[in-house]
Structure 1
């Protein structure tokens, strides 16, 4: 009787593992069958997701006048989240959470944003990253079943500049290039010591990953060397590559991941939007051991996991990441505040709001604009649970406070990319925090955020 119970328990565990995995062993499909099936389904899932984006957002290319990222890419302006018919932002902000919830007034763009195919998930890269990596070293990050979803004009500039805390005199060390294994030594040999240089090499080295590996259980047409840390954190920043978080089950509760910038990790004390890892070494090791394979160690063993040696490799990689600096902010003084001689009246008013009425500084104090803590916004107060393209909109739970230095260079916003512009972000927090900002105050606050 005991043996039979153990057998049934093992069967239940195996069944659950199959449901949570894309493994071809569980699915009993050949690689060619998976390619044919997913390519046949690709159009319908892309259409489903595009319909959601169009219903939620204004996706047009509308650059802000005079607002540029560090290398000159235009910052997008304006609120892009669409309101329900008959609603205004002032009216919405004047309602209680209960009124918004009962009347179903929560804007569609304020709900969690699903992965382009949330049921499948997995790493997904913007076209610019795919094309440049393929051009430099013929490694292909294209997925045969999915394409990236957001337009290029709503993403960070590519390739992003690299600033080093140890060599501010060098300016952009990348010299306008995407750093890869093909060019890192040429670009950095005079700027880094041997240990840091080896750390950068490891960050640029592809390792097998759930969707990109050499087995038949992959999502690239050809067997793949895998994925490098800097395929998502390109040039130590972010290219907005997305994924679904690997440590939450069931699948409908897994968040789409916004790839955060690695700039300024030297001043951070929490890593991972919800995992609360305590050091950049912890995060670096976790990514390779767990996140690369959606937290599935059995799959990782088959596909080629490469546990990094903590005392050398992880330490070398972390040391380089600790050197990545924020972009220059010429209007800020030594304490992270605006220099009155350089700032406009609108920017100065925005700073006063940030540290006052808008309540931003409670979680984002200067000079780096993070408190290194976790906070729960409890947005579930505003809506009823529902499924959205495979993602259950429910309580998000506590999320780490990300630094706001250089924030204009890191769209889209929030931990899952649901907010496309800084204006969207201000409207979101105006409702969630109940700060009752007027139109001019919102514009002033955005003007200040662009200075950080």
Structure 2
């Protein structure tokens, strides 16, 4: 005869029956497309915990950068951006000991993949803290806005990662398609809500001026907002479009594309320049938005909030009115011109009377053996298409520092006009110099250029 169950026996039985259910709930988590909406941890505890982890997070990322790149400041001789900042020279991506670029270029993609010899610096670049993500601004942008507006874009959990000498000059010059006679209209200042009217009244029409006002107006954003789900120490008014696209160009600020889930599959995005949007037909590094108005509205509704419409509603998304506000913002952006290229003729080709022999040789390689012009068509050096380089041919899927590298997918053909002023390169900024870019495409597209041909090609790119 079975013994009767005591109170303790009933409790033990209940616990034994419930335990597998609890364990299943903890271990069998269902993937979700949504960010957490309800924050149950106190903000001060979140900030203390994440600020305490910051040094370790940044050290881990710094080690990845140093493993991949030569991060030293090595300016190119006699080559500067418009306002005088030197551009960086040399291939910065490191190869394994004893390897050479010539040897690597002689291998097939299959051999490189099998031997695990694809350079680490050519792999997707993770966010400084990929599992967390979000907008991160260079220190010079943070310092300038604190001085001008008393608005602080510092994150308590993260700092920007790439050294300043690999970033565009700041503040960037501004050239307008409507007033080429004025040259740089920025007066060497960072355009912001407090000076935009002074700088542009009498140069822009009222619609364009209103569009610029909206571009320097702050709106709530995923990491910078007034809720307890933020990464600023204090409740925050938000971010302006030109906080990343500083002076209509780029300051190198980074975040993660909001198009993909789960988090580890999201791509880091280097802020693209807005120069030359008037000649472009697709917008966004990998989104293929069809108009600058689509791009403007998308940024406000989606990119500001990691593509999550639920948290956007919680944090105060600003829905722009398409017929006026978005149109005005787009109209101003369409005025932003490329910097002058004095060695190019009206067709975007080198003027032999102004170019050096090396630059002319580089142009021949660009249109010939290098086949660069197949995508980068003069005069603006874009075909307004997207192309998939299929970089996954060169490496097996792998996870590191929170990112899952499985290939890049289709990437927009960025215009190369003014390219020397827009480092770093590729959609995620993994290529620090033009020399890195030439080595990358020489390998991935198997062009088999010689050392001299690669040097000539870089010389040509610097003239654009």
Q: Deviation of residue 369 (structure 1)?
A: 0.1
Q: Are positions 1:154 and 2:169 aligned together? A: no
Q: Which residue of 2 aligns with 1:273?
A: 285
Q: Are positions 1:182 and 2:194 aligned together? A: yes
In the aligned structure 2, how far is the partner of 1:291 from the partner of 1:190? 33
Q: Deviation of residue 85 (structure 1)?
A: 1.9
In the aligned structure 2, how far is the partner of 1:157 from the partner of 1:195? 29
Q: Which residue of 1 aligns with 2:128?
A: 116
Q: Which residue of 2 aligns with 1:303?
A: 315
Q: Deviation of residue 25 (structure 1)?
A: 1.7
TM-score, structure 2 normalization: 0.93
Q: Which residue of 2 aligns with 1:282?
A: 294
In the aligned structure 1, how far is the partner of 2:158 from the partner of 2:287? 27
In the aligned structure 1, how far is the partner of 2:353 from the partner of 2:141? 40
Q: Which residue of 1 aligns with 2:254?
A: 242
Q: Which residue of 2 aligns with 1:7?
A: none
Q: Which moved more, 1:298-307 or 1:362-371?
A: 298-307
Instruction: Indicate the SS of the match to 1:302.
Output: helix
Q: Which residue of 2 aligns with 1:206?
A: 218
Q: Could you tell me which of 84, 89, 96 is aligned with 1:77?
A: 89
Q: Which residue of 1 aligns with 2:244?
A: 232
Q: Which residue of 2 aligns with 1:8?
A: none
- RMSD, aligned CA: 1.4
Instruction: Indicate the SS of the match to 1:243.
Output: strand
Q: Deviation of residue 23 (structure 1)?
A: 3.8
Q: Which residue of 1 aligns with 2:304?
A: 292
Q: What's the CA shift string for 1:27-60, capped at 9, x where partnerless?
A: x211111101101111111011000000000000
Q: Which residue of 2 aligns with 1:431?
A: 443
Contact 1:24 1:216 in 2 (8 A): no
Q: Which residue of 1 aligns with 2:155?
A: 143
Q: Could you tell me which of 404, 408, 415 is aligned with 2:420?
A: 408
Q: Deviation of residue 340 (structure 1)?
A: 0.3
In the aligned structure 2, how far is the partner of 1:23 from the partner of 1:228? 24
Contact 1:154 1:411 in 2 (8 A): yes
Contact 2:37 2:310 in 1 (8 A): no
Contact 2:35 2:308 in 1 (8 A): no
Q: Could you tell me which of 111, 115, 123 is aligned with 1:103?
A: 115
Q: Are positions 1:367 and 2:379 aligned together? A: yes
Q: Could you tell me which of 55, 63, 68 is aligned with 2:75?
A: 63
* Unaligned ranges ≥5, structure 1: 1-11
TM-score, structure 1 normalization: 0.95
Q: Which residue of 2 aligns with 1:25?
A: 38
In the aligned structure 2, how far is the partner of 1:366 from the partner of 1:260? 20
Contact 2:37 2:311 in 1 (8 A): no
In the aligned structure 2, how far is the partner of 1:367 from the partner of 1:16? 52
Q: Which moved more, 1:107-116 or 1:389-398?
A: 389-398
Q: Deviation of residue 19 (structure 1)?
A: 6.0
Q: Are positions 1:421 and 2:433 aligned together? A: yes
Q: Which residue of 2 aligns with 1:46?
A: 58
Contact 2:381 2:415 in 1 (8 A): yes
Tell me how many residue pairs correspond in the alignment: 438
Q: Deviation of residue 145 (structure 1)?
A: 0.4
In the aligned structure 2, how far is the partner of 1:85 from the partner of 1:375? 32
Contact 1:126 1:241 in 2 (8 A): yes
Instruction: Indicate the SS of the match to 1:25.
Output: coil
Q: Could you tell me which of 98, 103, 125 is aligned with 1:91?
A: 103
